Amino acid sequence: MTVLTRFAPSPTGHLHVGNIRTALHNWMFARANGGRFMLRIDDTDAVRSEERFVDAIRADLDWLGMAPDGEVRQSARFDLYEARFAELRAAGRVYPAYETAQELDLKRKIQLGRGLPPIYDRAALSLTDAQVAAYEAEGRAPHWRFRLDDTPLDWDDLVRGPQHFAPAAMGDPVVRRADGSWLYLLPSVIDDIDMGVTHVVRGEDHVSNTAVQLGMFAALGAVPPRFAHAALLTGSEGKLSKRLGSLGIAHFREAGIEPQAVVALLARIGTSQPVEPVVDAAPLLAAFDFAHFGRAPARFDEDELAAVSTRIIHQLPYEAVADRLPAGMDAEGWAAIRPNLHRVGEAADWWSVVEGPIETVIAEEDRAFLAEAGAVAAAMDWAGDPWHALTGALKGATGRKGKALFLPLRRALTGRDSGPDMAALLLLIGRTRALQRLARDM
């Protein structure tokens, strides 16, 4: 069996961090098992679906390095849904119901008031021809429900373990609206059968959907895929957060987060494995196993993501960032400045320190010291390691050491009190600029 997973977003908005995590789990499981990862655009809602969101979904997956192996769109598959719907209707597994939303709401309130579960009472199955004719004469169009049978709805979830639902406690779900449009449940099952999906990987908020869909797979004569339902994300405070619904790729990119950091964090939170700042996803894939997933909510912390991103930046080779660096910065410059960055975009700020001009304030007590530093720098050999040659000579000549030796030099040469290693930075600044900076205001 070749593993085939699918990520099935609706193009009614941008992907948020919870969607991205679901996509990542599907991509990782497929790649870890030598399988295929498919993108299914669930665009049956013609009113709310927008092509710009389809483009954004593709771009987000591409940025994360999770390009799918193929793509299908539900809007192109209506003929297939009609054919399978007709089969279910002929077999008596879907039936029309005529209650209005207000009538259904009243039924639920009555059931709750009596301490009963608010599930559909199957009243539509008892309608006479005369009652149906009367409803249609009023202009009512039916919605359609899937009739569950008495078969227990059981499966062994790859994350949650054995699951059991009693059909009698579920209620027959609506699968098609009165206007003929489709709800999520049935088209998704039809697609999974037609596409050959072997594993459905999604959030635990779909557990009850899975129970109902197992009945649909059986009614359509298909063996269901395996299911894995991961615990939902919470905010860093440990609670479900509306903010998580607004965090997407655009936010992460604007914050200077590296895509590898998003992958590294979302691959491991909610599991028993440590989050590691890996640049290449290979070790994540090699260790991917649903057995590591816990049942407790997974905490998503933006500060942790930023920290992971910083550690990844410190590993990135020049070739991976060259197109994002300021003009003139080469591999040597990147290697010198990289350890001081939190975001790649900060490289431009440090490169301006190298190329100048810079602003600095010289303390009166340091002027004579810096004048001597300029003289030493002008006379010494700049081949090899000029920083240690300069500081070594000045230490012997002035008796200064530690902060009194190094800080005035750093301030004069960079305009900063801290920053990248001066041995590497001075090589980038070069002899001419260094002498000009040491001589300024003398």
What is the rounded CA–CA span in Å between residue 156 and residue 159?
Answer: 9
75 neighbors 10 (Cβ within 8 angstroms): no
What is the rounded CA–CA span in Å between residue 197 and residue 70?
Answer: 13
Instruction: Give, for 38, the enclosing helix (H) or strand (E).
Output: strand 36-41
261 neighbors 75 (Cβ within 8 angstroms): no
172 neighbors 122 (Cβ within 8 angstroms): yes
In b/e form, how buried is each residue of 205-226, taking b as 16+ CB within 10 angstroms? ebbebbbbbbbbbbbbeeebbb
315 neighbors 335 (Cβ within 8 angstroms): no
SS3 337: helix
Nearest-10 crossing angle of helices 347-355, 422-439: 40
- Residue 78 CB: number of other CB atoms within 10 A? 14
Binding residues, as ranges, are 242
List of residues 6+ apart from 327 with CB closer than 8 A: none
Q: Is the sign of the CA dihedral 26, 183, 159, 228 positive or negative? A: negative
Binding residues for ATP, as ranges, are 242
Dihedral, CA of residue 370, residue 372, residue 374 and residue 376, to nearest 10: -140
Please report, as a single letter, which amino acid is at residue 120.
Answer: Y
64 neighbors 30 (Cβ within 8 angstroms): no
